[in-house]
């Protein structure tokens, strides 16, 4: 009896299907490359985007100069790698991706100007970019007005849900809640000291953490903020010594990190002893390069991705990344999230069978990526990703060792009830 | 009427006509709406540069804090627009509908009292000029009455710029913090984000700029303008002649602040948001650079300087996203080394004599009554 091959495929359990696909990393989730001839430009591009019979233009918009360049460079590299790999597989709907790179120069108005240029003048079919919340807020009205598509890689504070943005990083509750539960359960933490840089992301994240801690019936013994770029943390370190919290929950951002962790060590707080334990959501492998592994060792970080993650997708990703950008490179959480952007866009375009922004918007929810270095992700109705939350333990060599991951994917919840 | 009291000398009329033709006719015809909006943004910096020509070029008061006034003007405008955009209907997903979104994120449940007046457009328009001017008056009175000047004044203006930035960033519940005030939509119901609106705003901006230029020229040729130059060169002599030097300085500083504030307000309207990155030390110094490149003694030069530097910035950064800052640095060094008087100096020393020579060969000019050569020299 002859069996219908498609039926046969369906009968395979989803788990083994996923495992099978994961074993061939970076293969398109829809299988064989699609031919441009099957998708005439006139039908896949009805709104005048920069799509020709054999190319499609996209934008990369990050800071490669200024204070944010150190953080955003990894994202640029990841996006270029993804684009190169997609092109090597035959592109998107048979069209090679060409990218136009613009520099946001760590300056929010410049981001808005360049975003407009990419959409209005270059007619970019998608833009991969932005890093800080401020830059995203600056470009958001531009993307909504000119109907563009932005793939935003950074973990962020939530409180936003735009049809024109796919948020490939974690929103605050995904990043924080599981980690706090873990530290309470595994380490018996009872009191927390919250501190952070003074802007919307640390403040909102701390608000969510505080509500969660208080719901668990535990205590927040202090909460403080310092301006971006602040380098004198001695007074807060003294207060921490005085109050003796079980956990320092730190969201210090950018260059301030270097001063903070060095001063902690100088003040005799050895993170490896975990008295107090340090929990952060703002230090990825990229930041440890600046802080120094010896100053950071023993701290815990809550993220969804660490370079040391042990799975086949990630091995292939790390190898390809190092091949393209050099062996000394480290890969942080946001870099991985940036890498997802072009792949998610490709999947959406292929699902929609069109480059039209409105069709991509409609097609995006439900898209899965089994080849993601972090494992498996899926786009939620609210344009954020379902993903696992993980806790990493900082090692002397500047890498994190994964000590905990949630068994289920965390649902993204940008407007969390009861946490506002 | 002698040439000394004329508002513009004939050749300056020509310069004004050329500038007006460029920004009102040539640029709008030559570029698309997107680029026109960019030029509009550049021109908002020209307001600051004109103010700096008066205060620094003429009065010898180097302010490294013009971003303060640009920012204050811009923030006043942004507060009005933000309130208009934050109707209870538009913000119903917030815990407290009807207040700006960033206040809601920071657990503020009521509009602060000092935001209330910005519901009114007429109040806002007055505030755009008055708030920065009063602030400049306070700084000016505190400094100039005590005869603080020169480098010390420059340093203090920088410090004030830094303080104001920290204040804005620190009080994010009231100011939007480092994000600034974003997502501005309409002005009295008129959508400022459309292409038509951008074009209209460009022309409003250009006309205002020319009006400011004429006003600045009026100050420059007045008796007051000559006193300023005298003060710059020999402050003691002016003081001994019985003039109150401090008041003159305060006035010109306030005037420069008011010009900057108008630029800031137009910036907010055209770009659609305001953030502390225009208030701090770096943008303030950049604004001095616009003025220096154009030529700090020349009002026209200031406008061209602002245009040129910003145009270069955009072009370089689009062509070489990773190296453009070096190109900008190179441009500044080249200008300062080769042309200490900026573009205006190059024009006066090289281009103008050549033009005059050319003009004198033409019989029309020789016969005509237009006195092309400068009568002042």
Task: Tell me which long-range contacts A378-383 makes (C-beta under 8 A, separation of at least 24).
Answer: A378/A409, A379/A166, A379/A344, A380/A411, A380/A412, A382/A161, A382/A412, A382/A414, A383/A161, A383/A162, A383/A163, A383/A165, A383/A166, A383/A167
The residue of chain B with its CA nearest to that of A122 is B34
Q: Which of A109, A113, A140 sits opposite B277 (nearest CB)?
A: A109
Residues 340-359 of A with CB under 8 A from B: none
The residue of chain A with its CA nearest to that of B277 is A107
The reported pLDDT for the residue numbered A108 is 86
Residues 66-105 of A with CB under 8 A from B: 101-103, 105
> Is the residue at B199 inside a domain?
yes
In this complex, do B172 and A203 lie within 8 Å of one another by their Cβ atoms? yes
Q: CB of B179 within 8 Å of any CB in chain A?
A: yes
Q: Could you give the CA distance from residue B222 to residue A216 in angstroms, rounded to a whole number?
A: 73
> Is the residue at B301 inside a domain?
no
- How far does the CA of residue B310 sit from the closest CA of chain A (Å)? 11
> Is the residue at B233 inside a domain?
yes
Residues of chain A with pLDDT below 70 are 1-33, 420
Task: Find chain A residues with C-beta within 8 A of B182's C-beta.
Answer: 137-138, 140-141
Q: CB of A198 within 8 Å of any CB in chain B?
A: yes
The reported pLDDT for the residue numbered B195 is 87
Q: CB of A65 within 8 Å of any CB in chain B?
A: yes
The residue of chain B with its CA nearest to that of A112 is B271
The reported pLDDT for the residue numbered A345 is 97
Of B54, B9, B17, B26, give the one whose Cα is nearest residue B254: B54
Residues 197-236 of B with CB under 8 A from A: none
The residue of chain B with its CA nearest to that of A114 is B318
How far is Cα of residue A140 from the mean position of the Cα atoms in its chain? Answer: 18
The reported pLDDT for the residue numbered B181 is 92
Whether the CB-CB separation of A278 and A271 falls below 8 Å is answered with yes
> Is the residue at B149 inside a domain?
yes
Q: Quote ipTM for the complex.
A: 0.78
Size (chain A), residues:
420
Whether the CB-CB separation of A315 and A371 falls below 8 Å is answered with no
> Is the residue at B373 inside a domain?
no
Stretch B142-158: mean pLDDT:
92
- Model confidence at B373: pLDDT above 50: no
In this complex, do B179 and A116 lie within 8 Å of one another by their Cβ atoms? no
- How far does the CA of residue A197 sit from the closest CA of chain B (Å)? 10
- Model confidence at B95: pLDDT above 90: no
- How far does the CA of residue A237 sit from the closest CA of chain B (Å)? 21
Task: Find chain B residues with C-beta within 8 A of A101's C-beta.
Answer: 321
> Is the residue at B202 inside a domain?
yes
User: Could you tell me the pLDDT band of residue B39, with boundaries at 50, 70 and 90?
Assistant: very high
In this complex, do A415 and B102 lie within 8 Å of one another by their Cβ atoms? no
The reported pLDDT for the residue numbered B260 is 96
Residues 223-282 of A with CB under 8 A from B: 227-228
In this complex, do B324 and A65 lie within 8 Å of one another by their Cβ atoms? yes
Q: CB of B169 within 8 Å of any CB in chain A?
A: yes
Q: How many domains does chain B contain in total?
A: 1
DSSP state of A92: B
Task: Find chain A residues with C-beta within 8 A of B277's C-beta.
Answer: 107-109
> Is the residue at B110 inside a domain?
yes
Range of the domain at B245: 10-280
User: Could you tell me the pLDDT band of residue B364, with boundaries at 50, 70 and 90?
Assistant: low
- Model confidence at B317: pLDDT above 60: yes
Burial A251-290 (b: 16+ CB within 10 A, else e): bbbbbbbbbbbbbbbeeebebeebebbbbbbbbbbbbbee
In this complex, do B182 and A64 lie within 8 Å of one another by their Cβ atoms? no
Q: Which of B105, B178, B273 sits opposite A159 (nearest CB)?
A: B105
The reported pLDDT for the residue numbered A326 is 93
Q: Which of A116, A117, A228 sits opposite B178 (nearest CB)?
A: A228
Q: Could you give the CA distance from residue B158 to residue B162 in angstroms, rounded to a whole number?
A: 6
The reported pLDDT for the residue numbered A33 is 65
Residue to test with chain B: of A61, A62, A65, A419, most B Cβ within 10 A? A65
Side-chain-side CA neighbours of residue B71 (13 Å) = 29
The reported pLDDT for the residue numbered A24 is 46
> Is the residue at B53 inside a domain?
yes
The residue of chain A with its CA nearest to that of B38 is A113
Q: CB of A61 within 8 Å of any CB in chain B?
A: no
Q: Give first-to-last CA distance, chain A, whole Å.
A: 61
Q: Which of B33, B275, B322 sits opposite A64 (nearest CB)?
A: B322
Residue to test with chain A: of B103, B178, B271, B320, most A Cβ within 10 A? B178
Answer with the residue of higher pLDDT: A77 or B322: A77
| Range with lowest mean pLDDT among A323-332, B116-125, B322-331 | B322-331
Please name each of the domains of chain A with its CATH number: 16-169+309-387 (3.40.50.2300), 172-303+392-405 (3.40.50.2300)
Number of A–B residue contacts, CB under 8 Å: 96
Locate B177 and state its tokens: 């913090």
Q: CB of A141 within 8 Å of any CB in chain B?
A: yes
- How far does the CA of residue A172 sit from the closest CA of chain B (Å)? 13
Answer with the residue of higher pLDDT: B168 or A417: B168
């Amino acid at each position: 009896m002859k069996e219908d091959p498609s039926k046969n495929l369906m009968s395979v359990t989803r788990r083994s299907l996923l495992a099978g696909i994961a074993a061939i990393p970076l293969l398109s989730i829809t299988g064989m490359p699609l031919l441009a001839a099957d998708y005439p430009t006139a039908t896949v591009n009805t709104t005048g985007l920069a799509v020709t019979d054999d190319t499609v233009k996209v934008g990369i918009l990050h800071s490669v100069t200024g204070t944010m360049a150190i953080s955003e460079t990894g994202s640029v590299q990841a996006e270029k790698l993804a684009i190169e790999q997609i092109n090597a597989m035959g592109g998107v709907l048979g069209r090679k991706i060409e990218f136009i790179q613009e520099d946001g120069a760590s300056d929010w108005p410049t981001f808005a100007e360049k975003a407009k240029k990419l959409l209005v003048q270059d007619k970019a079919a998608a833009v991969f970019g932005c890093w800080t919340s401020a830059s995203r807020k600056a470009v958001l009205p531009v993307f909504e007005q000119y109907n563009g598509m932005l793939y935003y890689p950074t973990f962020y504070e939530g409180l936003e849900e735009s049809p024109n943005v796919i948020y490939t990083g974690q929103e605050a509750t995904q990043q924080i809640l599981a980690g706090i539960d873990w530290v309470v359960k595994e380490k018996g933490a009872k009191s927390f000291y919250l501190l952070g840089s003074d802007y919307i992301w640390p403040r909102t994240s701390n608000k969510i953490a505080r509500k969660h801690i208080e719901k668990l019936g535990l205590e927040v013994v202090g909460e403080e903020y310092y301006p971006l770029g602040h380098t004198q943390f001695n007074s807060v370190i003294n207060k921490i010594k005085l109050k003796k919290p079980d956990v320092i929950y730190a969201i210090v951002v950018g260059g301030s990190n270097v001063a903070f962790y060095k001063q902690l060590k100088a003040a005799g707080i050895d993170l490896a002893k975990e008295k107090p334990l340090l929990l952060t959501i703002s230090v990825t492998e990229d930041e440890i390069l600046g802080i120094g592994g010896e100053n950071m060792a023993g701290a815990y970080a809550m993220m969804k991705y660490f370079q040391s993650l042990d799975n086949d997708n990630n091995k292939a990703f790390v190898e390809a990344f190092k091949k393209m950008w050099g062996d000394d490179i480290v890969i942080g959480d946001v870099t991985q999230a940036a890498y997802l952007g072009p792949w998610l866009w490709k999947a959406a375009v292929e699902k929609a069978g069109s480059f039209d922004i409105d069709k991509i918007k409609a097609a995006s929810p439900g898209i899965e990526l089994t080849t993601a270095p972090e494992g498996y992700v899926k786009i939620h109705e609210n344009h954020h990703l379902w993903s696992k939350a993980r806790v990493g333990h900082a090692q002397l060599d500047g890498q994190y060792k994964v000590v905990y991951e949630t068994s289920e994917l965390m649902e993204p919840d940008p407007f969390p009830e009861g946490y506002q | 009427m002698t040439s000394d009291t004329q508002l513009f000398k004939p050749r300056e009329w020509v310069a004004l006509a050329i500038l007006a033709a460029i920004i009102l006719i040539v640029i709008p015809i030559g570029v698309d709406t997107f680029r026109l909006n960019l030029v509009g943004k550049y021109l908002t910096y020209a307001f600051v540069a004109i103010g700096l020509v008066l205060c620094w070029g003429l009065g010898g008061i180097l302010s490294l804090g013009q971003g303060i006034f640009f920012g204050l003007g811009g923030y006043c405008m942004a507060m009005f627009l933000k309130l208009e955009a934050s109707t209870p209907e538009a913000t119903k997903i917030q815990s407290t509908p009807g207040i700006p979104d960033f206040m809601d994120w920071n657990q503020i449940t009521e509009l602060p009292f000092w935001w209330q007046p910005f519901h009114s457009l007429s109040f806002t328009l007055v505030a755009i000029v008055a708030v920065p001017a009063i602030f400049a008056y306070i700084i000016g009175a505190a400094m100039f009455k005590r005869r603080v000047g020169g480098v010390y004044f420059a340093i203090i203006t920088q410090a004030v710029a830094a303080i104001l930035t920290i204040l804005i960033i620190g009080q994010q519940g009231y100011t939007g913090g480092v994000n600034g005030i974003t997502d501005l939509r309409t002005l009295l119901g008129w959508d400022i984000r459309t292409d038509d609106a951008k074009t209209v705003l460009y022309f409003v901006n250009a006309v205002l700029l020319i009006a400011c230029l004429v006003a600045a020229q009026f100050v420059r040729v007045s008796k007051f303008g000559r006193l300023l130059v005298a003060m710059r060169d020999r402050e003691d002599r002016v003081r001994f002649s019985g003039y109150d030097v401090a008041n003159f300085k305060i006035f010109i500083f306030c005037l420069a602040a008011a010009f900057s504030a108008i630029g800031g307000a137009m910036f907010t309207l055209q770009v659609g948001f305001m953030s502390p990155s225009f208030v701090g030390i770096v943008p303030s110094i950049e604004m001095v650079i616009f003025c220096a490149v154009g030529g700090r003694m020349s009002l026209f030069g200031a406008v061209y300087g602002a245009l040129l530097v910003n145009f270069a910035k955009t072009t370089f950064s689009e062509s070489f996203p990773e190296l453009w800052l070096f190109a900008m640095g190179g441009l500044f060094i080249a200008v300062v080394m080769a042309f200490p008087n900026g573009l205006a100096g190059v024009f006066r020393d090289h281009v103008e004599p050549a033009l005059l020579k050319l003009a004198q060969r033409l019989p029309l000019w020789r016969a005509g009554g237009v006195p092309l050569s400068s009568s002042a020299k």
